A and B are shown apart, each in its own frame.
Chain A
Amino acid sequence: MQAGTTTTENLIELSDNAFVVFSAIKVLLVFSVVMVVVALLTLMERKVSAWMQDRLGPNRVGPGGLGQPLADGIKNILKEETNPAEANRVFFTLAPMLSIIPALVTFAVIPWAAPLPTPWGVVPMMVADLPIGILFLLAFSSLGVFGIVMAGWASSNKYALLGGLRAGAQMISYEIALGLSLMSVFFLVGNVGLDEIVWTQQRMNMWFALPLAVSFFFFWISSFAETNRLPFDLPEAESELVTGYHTEYSAMKFSMFFIAEYAHVLTVSALMATLFLGGWDIPGVGRDDMLGFVDGVWVGERPAVWITLLTFGAFALKTLLFILIFMLVRWTVPRFRYDQVMDLGWKILLPAALVAVMVTAATVLALDSFGVEMDRLYYGFVPLYGLVLTVVNVAMLVIVLWVMDRGQTLAGSGSLDEKRRVAQERARRRAEAMRVHLTTPRAGAR
């Protein structure tokens, strides 16, 4: 994959006026696409769950049930809204808004295709090409919890309050692991722009899912917790808290919480596709490697309309893959107990992520000081830089999984008493085995 082999002479940047027009178009386009996809996701969730439980799922409205989200929307708008008498009216109304706005805003910084050439200049396929890129996304997605906490508090309902409290604690705990697992991405990219993250993966000839496997794994776990999806849906927890923070909500306000949740799922899936699966990069093809204008000079291959379309397809497929896994997991595993969630966040993910950051940093430093180049293919096809990191990371991942799987973290041993009981049981069984072993006459010794 060699950058800049084709002519890039008559490419121009957008003028200020064209920039405003194209930005407006992109905002409208992304907003409507996200809303439609979110509506379809609610249907997809029900269809996937039906498929997994050997049912049919919604199939009455429209062909194959496709009209179901529309019917749900109409129902929710027409339904009567109830306001609990004890609730704090201002915050009760504010909460759904606070939860839906961050969920929709965060998609703005995700690049969803290769830059599109137009007669007015090359249009980058992301709404806002911010210099702070992913930090914007982190900052605003962390604001979503205010909506949940506020809803829990304003409802004047103890179940809702408990749900809100759980959401607050869970978000804080897992945001740390989330941020730490991003650190190693920053090591390799050297900056925080999402378009540069995609470009680095193209230059490295390897998606970050392999060379940063541990970070990928931790980020994935944390994103389940951040979106409140099973097995981390403790703020809702139907079997314990009615439905948690949105117990008192009805009609469209209730629906807004769900739009926010699915928008979060969509954004996080798109983010994971961008960070760890190369974003809109098509695997094994060098023709789509491009970054955009850096100080007025085009970096990368020549853009084309068909490349933009194909790369958008690649991006959509990767995002869909993550969404599908979100749904499959939801209908497969049961909910964690609360102390297990906290144990996993603070005792496993945080220290492990810290160690992973240190090891990855040391590896990157070693590779750099040995003069291994990130964007060079050794012997024509060996991406050495990525391979070394992959080996180190896979080794770390094996250790992490081994420790997690020893029944000490997740196998229902959260409380100390239970741990002690298990240890005593094990010791008793060992003593019993020893006694049997000592008192049983050996074969041939009689």
Chain B
Amino acid sequence: MVTQLLFFFFAACAGGSALAMVTRKNPVASAMWLIGTFFSLAAIYTLLGAFFIGIIQILVYAGAIMVLFLFVIMLLNLGNNLEADIRGTGWKVMAGGGGLVMLALLARVFAGDVPMPLGQQAGAAVLAAQQAERGTVGIIGIPLYQDFVVPLQATAILLLIAVVGAVMLAKRKV
């Protein structure tokens, strides 16, 4: 009961902050609202019993990536009241279409019986049992480095390519 109430509270926080983040004109305010969203999400993960994911959400997204975001915003010293990126009918239609796809996906989830790609049941009870067996970090780490090694390495290479590309783009202008 309390868990459910807390869930709805944090879900409302997450939705509200996400909305505020999109609607704010000031980029720094947007960034702060995004941090609020991350925190609410972390709280929801924690309520589900996934402590590790919750804390990594704060550690990586709120603690590292958003600091970089703020750093860039401040470095460019963007002022208030920037014009929106979405202008013209074409962009609006595309944005609306994206929103509709998102809604359709959500509707599919709420319709029930979503196939689990990992073949595992989700939920706090299953997580707690796994956690007792493998430890808080182990329930992520052991499957990640045993069952999903190839996808993990592929992602690592993808990230490396992105880094190299970023350096190339940055170098060209000098």
Contacts and interface: CB of A to CB of B under 8 A. Distances in A.
Contacts of B131: 131
B28 A172 contact: no
A278 interface: no
Given A130-B51, A135-B52, A142-B63, A149 B58 contact: no
B48 interface: no
Contact of A142 (B32, B64, B136, B137): B64
Q: Is the interface of B mostly helix, strand, loop or mixed?
A: helix
Interface residues of B, number: 27
A191 B63 contact: no
A165 B64 contact: no
A140 B64 CA distance: 11
A168 B136 contact: no
Nearest to A186: B137
A312 interface: no
A183 to B, nearest CB: 12
B166 to A, nearest CB: 15
Interface string B42-64: 00000000011011101100111
A164 interface: yes
B58 A139 contact: yes
A74 to B, nearest CB: 33
Interface string A231-265: 00000000000000000000000000000000000
B67 A145 contact: yes
B168 to A, nearest CB: 18
B74 A143 contact: no
Given A140-B58, A142-B64, A149 B71 contact: yes
Given A142-B59, A143-B63, A172-B67, A191 B137 contact: yes
Interface in B59-118: 59, 62-64, 66-68, 70-71, 74-75, 77
B136 A172 contact: no
A168 B58 contact: no
Contacts of A150: 28, 32, 70
Contacts of A146: 35, 66-67, 70
Contacts of A153: 28, 70, 74
A139 B35 contact: no
Interface in A128-183: 130-132, 135-136, 138-140, 142-143, 145-146, 149-150, 152-153, 161, 164-165, 168-169, 171-172, 175
A88 to B, nearest CB: 8
Given A132-B52, A153-B28, A165 B74 contact: yes
A358 B116 CA distance: 36
B55 A132 contact: yes
A149 B48 CA distance: 32
Contacts of A384: none
Contact of B68 (A136, A172, A190): A172
A138 B54 CA distance: 13
B135 interface: yes
A31 interface: no
Interface string B114-135: 0000000000000000011001
**Highest count of chain B CB atoms <10 Å: which of A149, A190, A295:** A149
A175 B64 contact: yes
A402 to B, nearest CB: 30
Contact of A149 (B56, B74, B132): B74
Contact of A139 (B55, B70, B77, B135): B55
Contacts of B66: 146
A295 B135 CA distance: 13
B70 to A, nearest CB: 5
Contacts of A168: 67-68, 70-71, 74
A132 B51 CA distance: 7
Nearest to A175: B64
A131 B70 contact: no
Nearest to B72: A168
A172 to B, nearest CB: 6
A192 interface: yes
Nearest to B141: A186
A91 interface: yes
A19 B84 CA distance: 52
A143 B62 contact: yes
Given A130-B51, A142-B59, A191-B137, A164 B74 contact: yes
A91 B30 CA distance: 12
A138 B59 CA distance: 7
B58 A143 contact: yes
Nearest to B28: A153
Contacts of B135: 190-191
Contacts of A130: 51
Given A135-B59, A165-B74, A165-B75, A149 B52 contact: no
A256 B69 CA distance: 25
A182 to B, nearest CB: 12
B67 A135 contact: no
Q: 10 tightest CB-CB pairs across the interface, nearest first?
A: A142-B63, A139-B59, A168-B71, A139-B58, A131-B136, A135-B55, A132-B51, A132-B55, A153-B74, A139-B55
11 contacts: A135-B52, A138-B59, A139-B56, A139-B58, A143-B58, A143-B63, A161-B77, A164-B74, A165-B71, A168-B70, A172-B64
Given A142-B64, A145-B67, 6 more contacts: A91-B28, A131-B51, A149-B67, A171-B67, A172-B64, A172-B67
Interface of A: 88, 91, 130-132, 135-136, 138-140, 142-143, 145-146, 149-150, 152-153, 161, 164-165, 168-169, 171-172, 175, 186, 190-192, 295
